[in-house]
């Protein structure tokens, strides 16, 4: 009895890992290389994001940095999940596939959805959600998919461990697990349309990148779900189809959204980016941090107590030159009447003196 040896390019390893090194069926090596490049690129972007935090002067952009950080973490997980589909389906990769696929994409689309909601406010000149509120919304949207995936894996854990390849029932269950993620994608597509309705055009550029990202993602998902659910086909193409979908969608996230957002983070703002009354979004570099402010033109509605400037109280609409107390040089006593000499004194009636 003869046993089939490892394929060319592979050593003495388990048959589950042959696609990682098989040079004959080289699709595994190609996708492995693209996924590894995506992992390295995402890590570089995460490190660059930490370096750019101190350089971002815009408060609105700064408040979205934590959301973008979790988006990059989700993208990093998507590239890493590709290896679970290059490795054959077994008792370890099956729960990973069914649990992480929906959770990672739910996290990414939730981050994009929160960003789109904030852009709707910004293009209309309103203050966006705070950072804690944005994170709460992101995790709330993601935790729904986590609960769905946990319930499925716990109920079907024994069945998943016994399968060496996906059958028609497994394909149906896999797609049904992602109904909520499909809902998030559809919602993101609709929300992005409202980003283009507003007077502040600069924020629409952010919305355009999110809209294009959602559009390409929808196309990728329609393609791989159609191929996966196609009846009467060879089941050996399940793993390549899903691996290609992961790598393609991960690079779409990086090229169409993450990289352009990095270009916008440190871009200088223009005077028309914000309404005059929006104090929250004003970039910090626009605020004067040196010199002496002329407080003589303070607003009239300032009802605060007078400020102390040195030893002198500050009074609005007053000069701030140091005043000295001068002693009065005038006599304010009541004047008394005085007799004035008559103009006719010494007048002799026109008679000359003889």
Q: Tell me, what's the pLDDT at 76?
A: 96
At 282, list the tokens: 């004003």
Q: Tell me, what's the pLDDT at 305?
A: 47
Q: How far is CA 126 from the centre of its chain?
A: 16
Question: CA 104 to CA 72: how far, in whole Å?
Answer: 10
Q: Tell me, what's the pLDDT at 288?
A: 43
Q: Tell me, what's the pLDDT at 339?
A: 67
Q: Tell me, what's the pLDDT at 143?
A: 96
Q: Which of 28-37, 47-56, 116-125, 288-297 has the lowest mean pLDDT?
A: 288-297
Spans of all domains in the chain: 15-273
Question: Between residues 292 and 59, which one has the greater pLDDT?
Answer: 59
Residue 354 — very low, low, confident or very high, per pLDDT cuts 50/70/90? very low
Q: Tell me, what's the pLDDT at 3?
A: 52
Residue 301 — very low, low, confident or very high, per pLDDT cuts 50/70/90? very low
Percent helix, strand and coil across the chain, each to the nearest 5: 60, 0, 40
Q: Tell me, what's the pLDDT at 59?
A: 78
**pTM for the predicted model, two decimal places:** 0.74
Residue 322 — very low, low, confident or very high, per pLDDT cuts 50/70/90? low
**Residue 184 clears pLDDT 50, i.e. is over it:** yes
Mean pLDDT over the full length of the chain: 79
Element (DSSP H or E) covering residue 14: none
Cα–Cα distances in Å, from 347 out to 246, 339, 340, 352?
A: 127, 19, 16, 11
Q: Which CATH architecture has domain 15-273?
A: Up-down Bundle (1.20)
Residue range 230-260, pLDDT digits in tens: 876 767 788 899 999 999 999 999 999 999 9
Average pLDDT over residues 254-278: 71
Phi, psi for residue 341 in degrees, rounded to 5: -65, 140
Phi, psi for residue 263 in degrees, rounded to 5: -70, -30
Residue 2 — very low, low, confident or very high, per pLDDT cuts 50/70/90? very low
**Residue 171 clears pLDDT 80, i.e. is over it:** yes
Question: Between residues 229 and 108, which one has the greater pLDDT?
Answer: 108
Q: Tell me, what's the pLDDT at 218?
A: 95
Residue range 78-129, pLDDT digits in tens: 999 999 999 888 888 888 999 999 999 999 999 999 999 998 888 887 888 8
What is 263-299 written as a DSSP string?
HHHTPPP-GGGS-TT--SSS-GGGS--SS---GGG--
Go through the chain and tell me how many residues it has: 354
Beta-strand ranges (E) seen in 12-140 are none
3-state SS assignment for residue 309:
strand
Question: CA 2 to CA 94: how far, in whole Å?
Answer: 30
Average pLDDT over residues 212-222: 95
Average pLDDT over residues 330-341: 65
- Percent pLDDT > 70 in the chain is 72
- Percent pLDDT > 90 in the chain is 38
Q: Tell me, what's the pLDDT at 4?
A: 64
């Amino acid at each position: 009895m003869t046993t089939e040896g490892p394929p060319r390019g592979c050593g003495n390893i388990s048959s589950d890992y042959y696609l990682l090194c098989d040079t004959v069926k080289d699709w595994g090596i190609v996708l492995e290389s693209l996924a590894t490049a995506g992992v390295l690129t995402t890590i570089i972007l995460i490190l660059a994001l930490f370096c750019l935090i101190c350089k971002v002067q815009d408060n609105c952009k700064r408040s979205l940095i934590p959301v973008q950080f979790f988006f990059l973490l989700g993208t990093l997980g998507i590239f890493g999940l590709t290896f679970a589909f290059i490795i054959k389906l077994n008792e370890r990769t099956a729960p990973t596939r069914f649990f992480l696929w929906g959770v990672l994409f739910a996290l990414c689309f939730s981050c994009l959805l929160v960003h789109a909601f904030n852009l709707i406010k910004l293009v209309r000149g309103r203050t966006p959600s705070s950072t804690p509120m944005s994170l709460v919304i992101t995790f709330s949207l993601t935790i729904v998919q986590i609960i769905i995936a946990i319930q499925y894996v716990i109920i079907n854990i024994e069945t998943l461990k016994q399968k060496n390849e996906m059958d028609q029932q497994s394909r149906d269950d896999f797609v049904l697990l992602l109904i909520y993620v499909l809902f998030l994608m559809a919602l993101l597509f609709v929300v992005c349309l409202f980003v283009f309705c507003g007077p502040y055009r600069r924020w629409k550029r952010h919305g355009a990148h999110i809209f294009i990202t959602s559009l390409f993602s929808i196309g990728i998902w329609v393609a791989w779900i159609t191929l996966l659910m196609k009846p009467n086909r060879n089941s050996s193409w399940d793993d390549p189809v899903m691996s290609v979908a992961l790598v393609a969608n991960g690079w779409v996230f990086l090229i169409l959204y993450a990289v352009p957002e990095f270009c916008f983070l440190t871009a200088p703002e223009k005077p028309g980016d914000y309404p005059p009354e929006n104090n929250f979004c004003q970039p910090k570099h626009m605020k004067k941090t040196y010199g002496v402010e002329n407080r003589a033109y303070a607003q009239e509605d300032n009802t605060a107590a007078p400020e102390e400037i040195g030893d002198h109280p500050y009074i609005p609409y007053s000069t701030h030159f140091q005043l000295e107390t001068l002693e009065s040089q005038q006599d304010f006593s009541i004047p008394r009447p005085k007799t004035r000499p008559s103009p006719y004194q010494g007048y002799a009636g026109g008679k000359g003196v003889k």
